[in-house]
Amino acid sequence: MKIILAHSKKNTGRCVFLIVFVLTMLMLISASVLVLARIKPVFKEKVLHAARIKAIEIVNTAVNDVFDECGTEDFVRINSDGSGNVMSVSADSVQMNKLKSKVAVRISEYAEESDGTYIYIPVGSLTKYPVFQGIGYRIPVRISLDAAAKVDFDDEFTSAGINQVKHKIFLTAETEVYAVS
């Protein structure tokens, strides 16, 4: 009894194609992993920097817009006697709380509107060599920001001479910005 193994060209072609396909996919996956490992630190720094800049811009714009709508004279009441001498100065906490909430809401609104912020990562920044940093095609990356704001008032009293005190009221806005790309 003789056993004859027949190889058809059709089966051999399929095996070669399958081997080439698998090897190509493995090379592409390993190249992608290497590139992504190199991109991640550069990308993270760029996104953090862009988020900080955008957060400062959002807070400044929100505070300016709110203060344009209302005057600063509404927040402090100066009580004087009949001859015009200042007896006391008191802060209007209701107006100040309204201002705090307006600023916090405006910051959130502006953060939502900031979708479509782009950062650009030069291809040269993906290499190990410092000579190529910032050189080459700039890869656009779209980031969207989400912000949570905590707005509060601080005050400071300093001596301004005999029987005089200088009172400063500061608006402090702390924001946590979340960037998604």
pLDDT tens-digit map of 79-114: 888 887 777 777 788 888 888 888 888 888 888 887
Residues in CB range of 115: below 8 A, 6 or more apart: 144, 145
Determine which helix (DSSP H) or strand (DSSP E) holds 34, and give its type and residue range. helix 9-69
What does each C-alpha distance from 167 to 99, 156, 158, 160, 163 come to in angstroms? 19, 6, 7, 9, 13
Q: Tell the residue number behind the tokens 């003789």, with chain if given.
A: 2
- Residue 2 pLDDT level (bands cut at 50, 70, 90): low
CB distance 31 to 24 below 8 Å: no
Question: How many of the other CB atoms lie within 10 Å of CB of 100?
Answer: 19
The model's pLDDT over 129-155, given as tens digits with 9 standing for 90+, comes to 778 888 888 888 888 777 788 888 888
In one-letter notation, the amino acid at residue 25 is: M
Question: How many of the other CB atoms lie within 10 Å of CB of 85?
Answer: 7
Q: What is the pTM of this model?
A: 0.67
